Amino acid sequence: MDRDPPSGQEITDPQAKAIITWCAIKDPKHSMLKAISQPVLVVNGSNDIMLPTENSYVMFKHLRNAKLILYPDSGHGALFQYAEDFVYHTTRFLTD
C-alpha cells in the first residue's frame, strides 16, 4: 500500500548507463566531484560490496558540500535495514 510503482526499463536503462559511463571515465583528480556545489547526502552501508563503501568516502572527501552517513553492519540495502534512521537523516538533510 502506498508504494512507488515498479521501475521499468525507462528507469533502469538510464541508471545503468550512468553508472557504466561514470565508471568508464578516468578522473584521478576527482574534478567532476569537485565541480558539484550543491549539498549532497552520501549514504551507504559499512560493508557494501555492490558499490564499495570506500567509494562513498571518496565522494564525501571530494564533494564541496557533502554529508556522509555509513550505517553499521549493513551493505547495499542499508537504507532498508535502517529505514527509520534513513528517513530521519534524509528529512533533516533536506530541511536544514
69/56 Cα distance (integer angstroms): 9
Which amino acid, residue 17?
K
pLDDT higher than threshold 80 for residue 22: no
39/61 Cα distance (integer angstroms): 13
Give the predicted TM-score (pTM) of the model: 0.79
Domain ranges of the chain: 30-95
Q: Is 44 exposed, middle or buried (0-12, 13-18, 19+ CB in 10 A)?
A: buried
Arithmetic mean of pLDDT over the chain: 92
pLDDT digits (tens, 9 = 90+) for 37-76: 999 999 999 999 888 999 999 999 999 999 999 999 999 8
50/8 Cα distance (integer angstroms): 21
